[in-house]
Chains A and B, each alone.
Chain A
Amino acid sequence: MSRIGRLWNSLATPKRIPRFYSVILGVLLLVGFIVPLALNDQQLYPRPEPQLQVNQQDPFAPYDRGGVPLKEPGIIKSQYPHFSEKAGMVTSYVSPIGIGVSKTTLYYGTSIYSSPGGLIDEILYYSRGFDTVLESSILMMAFVVASWVALHFTMKRREEE
């Protein structure tokens, strides 16, 4: 009985919480090794064969979705096609600088894909503009907090004392 009391007391110390949380998470992730994989590839964004675009010497190699901006939709699959009729119309847009760079190198697509955002876009490629708004607002809040702390706890501290 006293042992369980000691356990509760140790859980009341804020310093131990991250370690405790990490241990639980680690155990759960170890369980993940024995979970049978069940992939549903029917609804995901359609992809060509892995090395097909590379062998075709395409500068956008693993990332080329085809299509002409505002004229012809690229290869995307949306969840609710009747709600997003214009989906894919701007998929293939590349800025003029991007077009210039893609003419000089064969690895332009690889550089897009190697950024973390590229991978996430690849997985979640739907007509999902709201995600971008939310992601950047998370980033903005982090900057608001960090800059407020930096301004008031480091730069203005001298004046108060």
Chain B
Amino acid sequence: MDITILGQQLLGYIPLGDIVLYLAPLNLFMFASTLAFTTIIAISKTETQVEAGFGTLKDREVKVDKSEFKIRRFLAIVCGLATAGAMITGDLFNFTLFVCLIGIVNIGIVAAVKQVDVLDAAFQYGLVAMIATLPLFGGAAMILASTGTISLLEIVDLPTTFMMVFGSLLLFIGVAGETGVAPFYATKAEMFRTPGSPFLLIIHLSSLLVIVRVIEILLIINKPF
């Protein structure tokens, strides 16, 4: 039972029945940084945007009221915890579940705003996130069918078949849809145009870290080196 990728050393593992978490330097670093950022978010207050008015000297402040602040903080903390879980899990199915949780919480963080443009973008992002659950879980199921296991510690010892490559492609496109990376970025970019900065940043951070983690998982499954 050894898993060495990117020149890492296995520091240990946490057995929870059949779900075995493994501790490697990269995962631990991402886990700790996510938890630290979540703590900063939990104790911080939101920004206030100032909109300049045309023709007058008056500025208009866009504030976040208290109930909106509370629900956003709660959902941002849940998003941070889900990201931390996705960083450290050693199990493919749990990883997809964590990514799905991140997707649904991301919609929730911006669902409370009152700008119509932002809500439209969030609606489109929600559509993509819902479609993306099909390749996400489909890819995990396909890898399970072709290897017989979803524990990464076992998959690393098995030879790669073409069906595993296809399953990991499906998994990657599912994660790309849920996190909204490069070609599908427009919906998320529009979602950021609202006050409430530190809570919105967790949307960004979670997608970046999940992409790093999914690349590590794809390297483990496909073993290109």
Contacts and interface: CB of A to CB of B under 8 A. Distances in A.
Contact of A20 (B100, B144, B147, B183): B183
A152 B141 CA distance: 39
Interface in A96-150: 123-124, 126-131, 134-135, 137-138, 141-142, 144-145, 148-149
Contact of B101 (A16, A22, A41, A137): A137
B75 A141 contact: yes
Interface residues of B, number: 60
Nearest to A44: B148
DSSP majority for the B interface? helix
Interface in B92-115: 93-94, 97-98, 100-101, 104-105, 107-108, 111-112
A80 B15 contact: yes
Contacts of A131: 19, 93-94, 97
Contact of B100 (A24, A123, A138): A138
A130 B94 contact: yes
Contacts of B173: 24-25, 28
A141 B108 contact: yes
Given A18-B124, A145-B108, A123 B144 contact: yes
Nearest to B183: A11
A8 B186 CA distance: 10
Interface string B179-206: 0000110110110000000000000000
B93 A135 contact: no
A152 to B, nearest CB: 7
Contact of B20 (A12, A32, A80, A148): A80
Nearest to B89: A130
Given A12-B186, A131-B94, A43 B148 contact: yes
